[in-house]
């Protein structure tokens, strides 16, 4: 990674950490526990997604659980995910291992999300730096896994905030470290949260075309 790609990112100091991931989980859980969120209609679409807010939150919880699980085996599969049973509730719906009990309402969904986030934080904290975890975008290490979890948390929080009528923005310092770790080729200028939204196809960036298809670079850096 050449230095010019990291210039003008004053917040991007050091790696993405388990502490960053824990803070991301805390912020998103707090957002979804706001009274306005718990009282909202979770069957509305989540932002520009075709999924409902409930389905999007389940997908987010499932991502965090899956990222945690992929770090677990001492000899992880090199070319596929762990062989959990994945299920879709219908065409176009997310394929998940994790589902939340609907009768408990939004608070139950938030509890599931918080628990899956805690599992991911714990695995990032305890996994060896040499641990590897398969992902379709590229096998990664614990730091990359933490950054991936934060992307899922922050951008799906944006989707959920739009669907539930909430105000949301992610912390710039953590966003800058995510960009450094997973999106080293994106333009380094501008506000990190705005840039992360652009890099994940959710926003505009002056002088740049809107991103239609995106992918992070999760390969280990050593």
**pLDDT tens by residue, 209-219:** 787 788 898 88
CB 71 within 8 A of CB 144: no
Report the C-alpha dihedral over residues 203, 23, 116, 32, rounded to 10 degrees.
Answer: -60
Task: Report yes or no: 184 and 1 within 8 Å, Cβ to Cβ.
Answer: yes
Model confidence pLDDT, tens digit, residues 138-193: 899 999 999 999 999 999 999 999 999 999 999 999 999 999 999 988 877 789 99
Q: Which pLDDT score is estimated for 169?
A: 96
- Quick one: tokens of 100? 């939340």
Greater confidence, 113 or 77? 113
Residue range 85-122, pLDDT digits in tens: 999 988 889 999 999 999 999 999 999 999 999 999 99
How large a percentage of the chain has pLDDT more than 70? Answer: 94
Report pTM: 0.91
d(CA 182, CA 149): 11
pLDDT at 166: 97
Coil, helix or strand at residue 140 = strand
191: which 2 tokens? 């506000």
Residue 2 has pLDDT above 80, yes or no: no
pLDDT at 12: 54
Residue pointed to by tokens 């990291």: 6
Q: Which of 8-17, 48-57, 86-95, 108-117 has the lowest mean pLDDT?
A: 8-17
Instruction: Say if residue 42's pLDDT is above 80.
Output: yes
Least confident of 21-30, 49-58, 117-126, 197-206: 197-206
Residue 4 has pLDDT above 80, yes or no: no
């Amino acid at each position: 990674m050449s230095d010019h790609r990291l210039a003008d990112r004053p917040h991007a100091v050091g790696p993405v950490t388990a502490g960053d991931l824990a803070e991301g989980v805390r912020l998103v859980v707090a957002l979804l526990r706001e009274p306005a969120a718990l009282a909202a209609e979770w069957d509305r679409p989540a932002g520009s997604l075709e999924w409902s807010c409930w389905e999007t939150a389940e997908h987010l919880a499932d991502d965090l659980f899956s990222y945690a699980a992929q770090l677990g085996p001492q000899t992880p599969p090199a070319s596929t995910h762990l062989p959990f049973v994945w299920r879709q509730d219908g065409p176009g719906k997310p394929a998940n291992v994790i589902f939340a009990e609907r009768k408990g309402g939004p608070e139950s969904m938030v509890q599931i999300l918080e628990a899956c986030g805690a599992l991911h934080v714990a695995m990032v904290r305890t996994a060896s730096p040499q641990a590897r975890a398969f992902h379709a975008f590229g096998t990664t290490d614990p730091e990359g896994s933490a950054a991936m979890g934060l992307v899922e948390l922050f951008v799906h929080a944006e989707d959920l905030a739009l669907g539930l009528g909430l105000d949301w923005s992610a912390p710039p310092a953590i966003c800058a470290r995510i960009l450094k770790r997973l999106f080293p080729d994106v333009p380094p200028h501008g506000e990190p949260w705005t840039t992360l939204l652009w890099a994940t196809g959710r926003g505009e960036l002056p002088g740049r075309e809107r991103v239609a298809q995106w992918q992070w670079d999760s390969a280990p850096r050593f």
